[in-house]
Amino acid sequence: MGLIEAIILAVLAASTPLLLAATGELVTERSGVLNLGVEGMMIVGAACGFGGAWLSGSIIIGALCGIAAGVLMSLIFALMTLGLAVNQVATGLALTILGIGLSGLIGARFVGEKISPAPRLAIPGLTDIPMIGRILFGEDAFVYLSLALVIGVWFFLYKTRPGLILRAAGDNHASAHALGYPVLRIRLYAVMFGGACAGLAGAYLPLAYTPFFIPGMTAGRGWIALALVVFASWLPGRLVIGAYLFGAVTILQLHAQGWGVGVPSQLMSALPYLATVIVLVLISRARTGGSTAPAALGTVFVPDR
């Protein structure tokens, strides 16, 4: 295996949890809801995902447990922000704190256990193609699933009527409501989808990336996913580029250290975040034509009956 191939494979694995969580959050935010609890939903997804896989011996059941846990967490958020019209930012932050505590409680009995990670795909004929075979057909299924998910989300948002309605709810909930669309129900589904994706992203960590569970193992990836959605200016295509760029910078800075490139490692560790700030500046400077934030993002909607 060549070095470049090895680096690309590492980037794919490092980017996948970011891409999964960010895809879910993108849909949530497109419906007008800002859920800052991604980190909390992820870590509970990680604990439940590992627990499910460890108890059942099946990666798929583990992934489903992670998704279910993420959805349950998001339902708490939905109850507060959609049902009781509580401030979304405060609720999202609280959800993260709750998730970190809860995952420690759920995961306590799984700490120190290990599972065999999700198997790498091996498609006869395809995986053996030199150079590209391992990259395109030889990683674990989650990697390709995350890409399929983004394509699906793009198709849904831009090529289907429900997708258009979802975007309308996020841009102007009053108009969408006046046209007779159930804004709160649309947002509920979007929040649940975000929870499912975050749960799966969290479960990816103990199921495929580092096959064990330790409290706090998401280590801030939920926050990066949130930044990615802004980085992508709420467009699925740019989200893919952003996620892989983040992954690439993270992996390359490690390799650069090994090669002895004379740049301080602290600066290189900060590079992905610097990149986000720079892109944010570029977006706000070039705010002509391109997509910007959903207009109703983060605002509470209470329908007048």
Rule CB under 8 A: choose which of 141, 257, 273, 280 binds other proteins.
257
Residue placing its CB nearer to other proteins in the complex, 59 or 157: 59
Question: What is the full DSSP assignment across the chain?
Answer: --HHHHHHHHHHHHHHHHHHHHHHHHHHHHTT---TTHHHHHHHHHHHHHHHHHHHS-HHHHHHHHHHHHHHHHHHHHIIIIIS---HHHHHHHHHHHHHHHHHHHHGGGTT-B-PPPPBP--TTTTTSTTHHHHHHSSBHHHHHHHHHHHHHHHHHHHSHHHHHHHHHHH-HHHHHHTT--HHHHHHHHHHHHHHHHHHHHHHIIIIISSB--TTTTTTHHHHHHHHHHHTTT-HHHHHHHHHHHHHHHHHHHHHHHHT-SS-HHHHHHHHHHHHHHHHHHHHHT-SSS----TTTT-------
- Asked whether position 124 contacts other proteins by CB under 8 A, the answer is no
- Asked whether position 100 contacts other proteins by CB under 8 A, the answer is yes
Rule CB under 8 A: choose which of 127, 172, 269, 299 binds other proteins.
269
- Provide, rounded to whole angstroms, the least separation between the CB of residue 180 and other proteins: 40
Size of the site for other proteins (CB under 8 A): 42
- Asked whether position 273 contacts other proteins by CB under 8 A, the answer is no
- Provide, rounded to whole angstroms, the least separation between the CB of residue 83 and other proteins: 24
Restricting to residues 2-31, name those near other proteins by CB under 8 A.
3, 6-7, 10, 14, 17
Angle at Cα 71 formed by Cα 70 and Cα 76, nearest 5°?
A: 100
- Asked whether position 274 contacts other proteins by CB under 8 A, the answer is no
- Provide, rounded to whole angstroms, the least separation between the CB of residue 219 and other proteins: 4
- Asked whether position 93 contacts other proteins by CB under 8 A, the answer is yes
- Asked whether position 202 contacts other proteins by CB under 8 A, the answer is no
Residue placing its CB nearer to other proteins in the complex, 206 or 242: 206
Residue placing its CB nearer to other proteins in the complex, 56 or 265: 265
- Asked whether position 134 contacts other proteins by CB under 8 A, the answer is no
- Asked whether position 251 contacts other proteins by CB under 8 A, the answer is yes
Contacts with other proteins by CB under 8 A lie at 3, 6-7, 10, 14, 17, 93, 96-97, 100-101, 104, 107-108, 111-112, 114, 205, 209-212, 214-217, 219-221, 250-251, 254-255, 257-260, 262, 264-266, 269
